[in-house]
Structure 1
Amino acid sequence: MSQHTVTSVVGNARLNGFHVGVLVMCSLLMIVDGYDMVSYGTVIAHLMDEWQMDPVTAGTLGSMALVGMLVGGMGIAPLADRYGRRPLMITCVTIASAGSLACAFTTGPFQLGALRFAVGAALGALVPNFIAMTGEFAPRRVKALWVTLVSSFYSVGGIGAAVFAIYIEPVWTWRGVFYISGLPLLLVPVLLRFLPESPEFLAANGDRAKLLSVLRKVDPHNDHSDVVAGERTEAGKARLAQLFANGNALNNVLIWVFFAMCMLLSYGLNTWLPKLMQTAGYPLGSALWNLVVLNLGGMVGAVAGGWMADRWNYRGTLVLYFVLASVSLIGLSFNPNSLVLNVLLFVAGAATIGVLAIIHAFAVEYYPAEVRSTGVGWAAGVGRIGAIGGPTLGGALLALELPFQQNFIAVAVPGVIGAVAVAVVAKKKFRTARREPVAVTAS
């Protein structure tokens, strides 16, 4: 009797309602991340007035959630490789939502900064794990599209934050934006009931009964009693060291570089775009709508990027997106008319936020299952250094009172660095020391 691996069963499965359920739950979690990360940018002008903060202090406060995401991505996300994605994801979304709701009741920068750090740490662990889970349940032919589709819902959250800010802040002040961020607590019972565990994690940990239960939902037309785990790396606890073993060091560092540049662009623009547009003479309401256009572009760019990556390749798609990001931001520096402005903002969003989705899909594909949470978590975690730099750089630029054109030209530089980093990444898969396939046995 021929044997089938977990990867082949999932990769060859036909789409069904179970797949759609996983896709919907992971997409909702991405909306939570997008809303929480963009929400600060929608209230920053009000906070600067109410708490009398200068731009550098406001930028530093904006970076606190991103510092938390760095800690969460590096220190907490890898725990899923040992304990499972499901329990970690449910715990993290609970902490993030409760912490965001508590932000509505803060009375000063210190309290808000501490809560934003906690929210960021929870999201930093949550995101790489539901991104990895999306890839682990996706049929092979649509894997990149699925991961980028889920990632595109970051922009739905961002758009929601901007739209809610426009209509809620006049009624409930800036605190209303954070009241809304507590709603994902209602999602927790749904996750407890329906969220499955990663089949690759179950295979790696020998939980055959649960594995077969999940696989029969993924592909209900077959029995799967002959399934094996597939090729496995030699056992070892030093998963971080594995990222640099067997000639993987250069690619790993380059992946970290373009994660950092991508996040600098995305988080910097989402934090400071309304304030930058205000300095150019636009009213706050109009500047917040610019944030909506930016994130609409991000949603379209993410889905289009996944479609391109499935049919072309990740490397070429990423280079194209980084180049488009730089060109569109330089175009914005010329203070164009309203039509051209919105087109450039749409393209900038498609490229800067869209590339964030594609690099996550690339990382899920690049790293094997046994180090996937560690690889994606550390790439996203190191990328947060760029994300932290985005709000801080924006605040520093505003404090320098540079001309409008120079602000956008400075923001375009990371796109060039990111394109170069992607262009020199070797066209090779992650190298592992492998042994023969092993059967999944009861624990």
Structure 2
Amino acid sequence: MSRLAPSARGSRLALLVVGLCWLAVLFDGLDMFIYGSVLPHLLETKTFGITADQAGDLGSYATFGMLVGALTAGTVADRIGRKRLMIGCVTLFSLASGICALSGSVAVFGLGRTLAGVGLGGLLPTAISMVSDYAPRGRGALVIGLLMTAHHAGGILSAYVAKWLVDPVGWRAAFWVCVVPLAFAPVLVKLLPESLSFLVAKGRTDEAHALAARYDVELPAADGKKSAADRWDALLALFRGREWIQTLLYWLASFGGLLLVYGVATWLPTLMRTEGYELASALTFVVVFNLGGIVGMLVAGRAADTFGAPRISAIWFALTAAGVYLLSVHLPMGVTTLVVFLTGVFLNSAQTMIYATVSIRSTPDNRATAVGWTSGMGRFGAVFGPWLGGQLLAAGHGDWGFTAFALAGLSSMVFIGIAALRTARPGARAGVDQELVTAH
């Protein structure tokens, strides 16, 4: 048998890396969405005596853990390597799901969700870096977009796990399924290569050159790390002159956007139950919502390239707000399913368009800082969203849940719309795609 040509070997390696990272992100999505999928059962059976406001707190624990994981992932990856960090993240959120499955109290369950969130928050940016290193030349945006679909595929899987296991076996079985990815960690150890960017950054150039030449992939350029003073100056630049107005608008838009994303992701099945739908139907909406998310991720970039990211972000948030509000109205099943699908299309990509807007309108030397801090401020909205839904439900205002989330979408539309009125900086397009997806 003849040996593979270099380009074929590079394609084979890219397929391997993308496939492994896609599965890891699939498990990430499963673990993230499983709580929202089993939450209606937990509340109806009064598991641990859990109340609606406690349920909201538990949802926020995971998103707080994600904030910690996302903020620390880069530093940890620079020390131990992206491959080891990915393995560590998969191991952490799998074992944390085991803690949830074994828990006998709200406190222990909350600890499990917090630890799971740390692993979940660290995995996605690390996986994106990995596939970017090994993507075939000219296909970087394509493979990143493909990777992002895995998270929503995990959300779809979580709904089916809940439908198949919770009623006949119990809610703990759903979390035991989330422990299964632990068996995937040895596969990553054996098959996943180390990040080329990490090898270059650590001065292991011979190893990096050999790997890049063997599989015909492009070797990343050495990344000149900024000093602490440089990073501080880049942050201060976001507030010099009248830039603080623009920066604040972006942060507020991101806060409302992620409040909406994680609030709906956590409470969608439960709120649909309060609207009178059966549990099976409520979980079907989770499937449809995430199918919309996959479609939205595939079409948003093209729409933004045609009409501009700021305009698309504002329009997407307006359509999201309309869709979320309509979910509070008991419509015929077919109409509701369509509304849930379209809401998933717009909601899950509207936030990404905020990052695109920030990236396009930032100078090249300050872009990473601007996008990173916009994402970081938005993460506080991700923590607040699940808590807000729980407070409304606990106060007997579950019917206001969708309205509150719709108002968050409208606020993001207003903030990003005002920010977009400022003149865009020219020549800031390069590098947008990877940075905006990594921030998400």
Length-normalised TM-score, structure 1: 0.81
Give the total of aligned pairs: 412
Q: 2:160 aligns with which of 143, 160, 163?
A: 163
Q: 1:229 aligns with which of 221, 229, 233?
A: 221
Residue 407 of structure 1 corresponds to 401
Residues 399 and 131 of structure 1: is their aligned pair in 2 closer, same or farther, counting only changes over 3 Å?
same
381-390 vs 311-320, greater mean Cα deviation:
311-320
Q: 2:197 touches 2:220 (CA, 8 Å); kept in 1?
A: no
Which stretches in structure 2 are left out of the alignment for 5+ residues? 1-6, 429-440
* Residues 179-220 of structure 1, C-alpha deviations (whole Å, 9 max, x = no match): 100111122122112323333333333321122134225636
Q: CA deviation at 1:410?
A: 1.6
Provide the rounded CA distance (Å) in 2 between the counterparts of 1:193 and 1:311: 43
In the alignment, is residue 348 of structure 1 matched against residue 348 of structure 2? no
For residue 19 of structure 1, what is the aligned residue in structure 2?
A: 14
Structure 2 residue 331 is the aligned partner of structure 1 residue 336: yes
Q: Could you say if the C-alpha distance between residues 125 and 362 of structure 1 is closer, same or farther in structure 2, counting changes exceeding 3 Å?
A: farther
Counterpart-to-counterpart distance in 1, 2:411 and 2:231: 25
Select which of 108, 120, 123 maps to 1:123.
Answer: 120
CA shift for structure 1 position 297: 1.0
Q: Secondary structure at the match of 2:397?
A: coil
Paired with 1:189 and 1:204, the residues of 2 have a C-alpha distance of 26
The answer on 1:272 being equivalent to 2:267 is yes
TM-score normalised over the length of structure 2: 0.81
Q: 2:130 aligns with which of 133, 150, 174?
A: 133
**In the alignment, does 2:40 pair up with 1:40?**
no
Which runs of 5 or more residues in structure 1 are unaligned? 1-11, 432-443
Secondary structure at 1:40 match in 2: helix
1:438 — aligned with what?
A: none
Q: Deviations over 1:301-324 (max 9, x none)?
A: 112224445666544443333232
Matched, 1:57 2:69: no
Instruction: Give SS of 1:94's match.
Output: helix
Q: Alpha carbon RMSD of aligned pairs, Å?
A: 3.5
CA contact (8 A) 2:196 2:220 kept: no
Moved more, 121-130 or 135-144: 135-144
Q: Is the 8 A contact 1:27 1:150 kept in 2?
A: yes
Q: Could you tell me whether the CA contact under 8 Å between 1:151 and 1:357 is conserved in 2?
A: no
Secondary structure of the corresponding residue to residue 51 of structure 1: helix
Moved more, 325-334 or 196-205: 196-205
- Superposed CA deviations along residues 122-180 of structure 1, whole A, max 9, x for unmatched, are 22122222223334444575444432321221111111111110111122200011010
Distance 2:137 2:99 in 1: 41
Verify the 8 A CA contact 1:146 1:306 in the aligned structure 2.
Answer: no
Match of 2:95 in 1: 98
Q: Higher mean Cα deviation, 410-419 or 140-149?
A: 140-149
Q: Secondary structure at the match of 1:170?
A: coil
Secondary structure, aligned partner of 2:221: strand
Structure 2 residue aligned with 1:196:
193
| 1:245 shift after superposition | 5.0
Q: In the alignment, what sits opposite 1:172?
A: 169
Residues 243 and 343 (structure 1 numbering): CA distance in 2 closer, same or farther, change over 3 Å? farther
Shift of 1:382: 3.4
Cα distance between partner residues in 2 of 1:283 and 1:340: 16
Equivalent pair of 1:69/1:381 in contact (CA under 8 Å)? no
Alignment pair present for 1:154 and 2:145: no
Q: Percent sequence identity over matched residues?
A: 34
Which of the residues 300, 303, 313 maps onto 2:295? 300
Does structure 2 retain, via aligned residues, the 8 Å contact 1:262–1:418? yes
Letter in 2 for 1:189: P
Relative contact order (C-alpha < 8 Å, sep 6+): which is higher? Answer: 1
The answer to whether the Cα contact below 8 Å between 1:147 and 1:360 also exists between their aligned partners in 2 is no
Counterpart check, 1:416 vs 2:422: no
Structure 1 pair 243/349, CA: closer, same or farther in 2 (3 Å)?
farther
